[in-house]
Amino acid sequence: MPENDLDYSTTVPRNLVHRATAGEVFLTDHQPHRQGALIAAHLPRTHAYYSDHTSSPAHYDPLLIMEVLRQCGILAAHAYVGAPEGASFVFDSATLAVLDMAALRIGPESARAVIDFQVVETKKRGGRISGAVYEALVRIDGRDAVSSRIECRWMPSRTWQALRERSRSGLDLTPRAHLTGLRLPTYLVGRRSAQNVVLADAVMSGNEVTGHIVVDQGHPGLFDHPLDHIPGALMFEAFRQTALYAASEVHGFAPRGLALESLETTFALVGEFELPTDCRATVGAATNGGVEIDLVLAQEDRTVATAQLRWGRTLCPAVRSQDAELVSA
């Protein structure tokens, strides 16, 4: 089906992408295509969470694209693979690679994206399809911008609740005070609004940085609706901010001068609200003007998720974190 037949005039129903707020739905239309679908999305030029960055020139946030792809995965499961309404979803892994940074540049109008979203594998449980592996190509205003691979599973809500009860029964979730931490200054993690800072009390040891993650369930962008676990969106942001701060501390790269080129993430366990959450970054050598960083998100001795992020340099100069406040002023 020709891409120009897709409609951008209204968003898809919220239940198809598991969103409660209309402003957090980015998909607008979809049609079958090969072994999957062509899916249309609008990218807002301004957004309280996804547009709140100090980098220049302004680009669409790669994590906005990741949220678009998450919504594509749920829509495709419901509309094309047979996931029942009300199913609970678990995302096991995700990769994203920016193919053309210039294609992410924010222009005078909201961008129109077309996602070629293909089902490359399905998984069954009890004779029924219960998961899928997707590969996606995101085109923004006619340019290939991002490629991705996502693996997810779904199950009836009652099965999810039973699994949650069983996994939580083996943990010490006795109510106790956890360190909420003093959030880092915004400029150290490339943010403008303090509300969007999730990293606190970060410390450096050699080429490693470890920080506490602030889990603010009242954040409207990260918690669109009540959840019983830490969402993937917050984990992505924890990885990003820890990586930005670590790159600054180890190599002197200004957060505003780094652009996310790629990420690979694996989700191992469900993050619990009652347990303290920390993120550790191990910074690689600076090569070709960029840096690769390995990250682990942990709750006590449990690895919840791991990631590898690759950063490239923009035209902004390098700056040590202790000088960043002067530069950003």
Report residue 151 as tokens. Answer: 């693996």
Tokens 């652009």 locate to 259
pLDDT at 314: 80
302, 232, 228, 294: which is closest to 264 by C-alpha?
A: 294
pLDDT score, position 182: 87
Query: How far, in Å, are 153, 156, 157, 248, 276 from residue 89 at the CA level?
Result: 6, 9, 9, 35, 24
- Going by DSSP bridges, is the β-strand pair 128-140/258-267 parallel, antiparallel, or unpaired? unpaired
pLDDT attached to residue 56: 77
CA 160 to chain centre: 22
Torsional sign, CA 129, 154, 264, 300: negative
Model pTM score? 0.92
Three-state DSSP class for residue 14: helix
Amino acid 173: pLDDT: 87
What residues does each domain of the chain span? 3-162, 173-328
Architecture of domain 173-328: Roll (3.10)
For residue 317, cis peptide bond before it (omega within 30 degrees of 0): no
What pLDDT was estimated at residue 181?
67
In the CATH scheme, what is the code of domain 3-162? 3.10.129.10
Judge whether 3-162 and 173-328 match in fold.
yes
What is the per-residue pLDDT across 136-182, written as a single tens digit (0 to 9) for each?
999 999 999 999 999 999 999 999 999 999 999 989 888 665 555 68
**Residue 318: predicted pLDDT:** 45
For residue 96, what are the β-bridge partners?
148, 263
Average pLDDT across each block of 10 residues of the chain; the chain has 329 residues. List them in order. Answer: 80 95 95 97 95 90 98 98 95 98 93 97 95 98 97 96 93 70 92 96 95 93 91 97 97 93 97 95 91 97 97 64 36
In the chain, the amino acid numbered 246 is A
> Do the bridges between strand 258-267 and strand 199-205 make them parallel or antiparallel, or are there none, so unpaired?
unpaired
Question: In the prediction, which pLDDT does 177 show?
Answer: 57
Write down the pLDDT at residue 329: 28
Q: Amino acid identity, residue 83?
A: A
